[in-house]
Amino acid sequence: MKLYNTMNKRKETFEPVTPGEVKMYVCGPTVYNLIHIGNARPMIVFDTVRRYFEYKGYKVNYVSNFTDVDDKIINRANEEGVDSETISERYIEECKKDMAALNVKEATTHPKATEEIDGMIEMIGKLIDKGFAYVAKDGTVYYRTRKFKDYGKLSHKNLDDLQSGFRALQVTGEEQKEDPLDFVLWKPKKEGEPSWPSPWCDGRPGWHIECSVMSHHYLGDTIDIHAGGEDLVFPHHENEIAQSEAANGVPFAKYWMHNAFLNIDNVKMSKSAGNFFTVRDILDQYDGQVIRYFMLSVHYRSPLNFSKDIVESAKNAYERIVTCAENLNFLLKSASGEMTPEEKQGTEEAESFRAQFEKAMDDDFNTADAISAIFELVKWINSHVDEKSSAAFLQALRKELLELTDVCGLIVERTPDVDADESAYIEAQIARRQEARKNKDFAAADAIRDELLQKGIVLEDTREGVKWHKE
């Protein structure tokens, strides 16, 4: 299994730190608003990475944080006249609802920054003791960037280039830094902000220290995979490496994975450009499964363009998989028996699509090609099953289809939104209608169809028999 490591700029064979286990940390959202459609990309991509590892038999410890102390949260709280916890708790709940709609699994742990302050104070203390951090007059603690010899190794940046860039950007109030490259680990509180006591001043942590501490707390010294969107490579992940490796004295993560950005109609999404969409906006128009399918239809390291046409075609493609699963279940209702020798051979042929799927996923999680393999399987199933197929054959194909779609987190067997009684009634009415048609009593047959239609149930006469769905 190979994955692209941003650190070494090449695909590398995956070898876990602990055999059979995967420890991964994915930087999560800052919770001051509903998450936007771009935020959904890392959630879906890395959830799929996790699912594939699990499919392969690994035990995955998946940690993804909520950044619940930040300027944006504080501003929003001030605007609404509430405390920042009210804001962060509200948007953590909303974020969890969006994740559920997108079928993103709950992380093994979803730590919150505000619940890890002790660990942050401890790590900052360690960095000060080792000479990697210093306390300024007002109690701000800075990281001494130049002291960390490997600084820039992830983003492939050179310290002197960075230095000139930073000079140009220098802002007032930072004169107390020893060097423009130094970054904040702890800052003094301001009026109306949440704060915690520390040996340096009452204050709050900088953003980067959170992830170093939470990753270490839940996953230990060296983890397998650290991931997030490509905008996090610099400075966030670079700074995390500097903090963690200086404090712990061992490599922080073996593999660094970054997804490319999602754009809207080929333009960067932004509020000022008027092309900003929350996940909730899109869920008003499309099923979460369609969004998920759309996100995985392009390799995670390629930019992804969101447009109405592309999402519409994702919807049609996803529906084709659903129809195939529905057809299998429909045939299964009246099928029985073991496989014929031809069917046995058929299942072997169908298994070749699983091999194709795995080959694509083993190649840096190429979900675009993996989905093509699912389509090959769907095509094969559609042309190899009918009313004469045995139950065992249909079950074997159904199992393969569900296992592969489940790796992608795609739910292709929709739970009918009718209860068991209603479903039994519909089936009985369909049987009565069939009987009426057999007796050439077409008026009675049509009356039954119309009665069901009034209840929102649409009948469909197909080659294999009568199917129904809700309008």
Place of tokens 């602990």: 18
Closer CB to Zn ion, residue 30 or residue 145?
30
Closer CB to ligand AMP, residue 261 or residue 442?
261
Closer CB to ligand AMP, residue 226 or residue 449?
226
- Residues making contact with Zn ion (CB under 5 A): 27, 211
Closer CB to ligand AMP, residue 91 or residue 134?
91
Q: How far is the CB of 89 from Zn ion (least distance, A)?
A: 20
**Of Zn ion, ligand AMP, none, which one does residue 39 interact with (CB within 5 to 8 Å by kind)?**
ligand AMP
Contact 69, 115 (CB under 8 A): no
Q: How far is the CB of 263 from ligand AMP (least distance, A)?
A: 7
Closer CB to ligand AMP, residue 121 or residue 283?
283
Secondary element (H or E) of residue 72 = helix 71-80
CA dist., res. 4 & res. 17, Å (int): 17
**Of ligand AMP, Zn ion, none, which one does residue 211 interact with (CB within 5 to 8 Å by kind)?**
Zn ion
**Of Zn ion, ligand AMP, none, which one does residue 30 interact with (CB within 5 to 8 Å by kind)?**
ligand AMP
**Of Zn ion, ligand AMP, none, which one does residue 288 interact with (CB within 5 to 8 Å by kind)?**
none
CA dist., res. 17 & res. 222, Å (int): 8
Closer CB to ligand AMP, residue 121 or residue 219?
219
> Which value, in Å, is the radius of gyration of the alpha carbons in the chain?
27
Q: How far is the CB of 41 from ligand AMP (least distance, A)?
A: 4
Q: How far is the CB of 211 from Zn ion (least distance, A)?
A: 3
Question: What is 266-315 written as a DSSP string?
Answer: TEE--TTTT---BHHHHHTTS-HHHHHHHHHTS-TTS-EEE-HHHHHHHH
Q: Which residues pair with 467 in a beta bridge?
A: 460
Q: How far is the CB of 389 from Zn ion (least distance, A)?
A: 50
Q: How far is the CB of 118 from ligand AMP (least distance, A)?
A: 23
Q: 233 Cβ partners below 8 Å, 6+ apart? A: 6, 154, 155, 256, 258
Q: Which residues pair with 205 in a beta bridge?
A: 186
Amino acid at position 53, single letter:
F
Closer CB to ligand AMP, residue 150 or residue 231?
231
Q: How far is the CB of 71 from ligand AMP (least distance, A)?
A: 13
Selection from 390, 384, 395 nearest residue 335 by Cα: 390
Residue 334 CB coordination number (10 Å)? 10
Residue nearest to ligand AMP (CB): 229
Q: Cis omega (within 30 of 0) on the bond before 235? A: yes
Q: Which residues pair with 466 in a beta bridge?
A: 461
**Of Zn ion, ligand AMP, none, which one does residue 235 interact with (CB within 5 to 8 Å by kind)?**
none
- Residues making contact with ligand AMP (CB under 6 A): 27, 29-30, 38-39, 41-42, 228-229, 231-232, 259, 261-262, 269
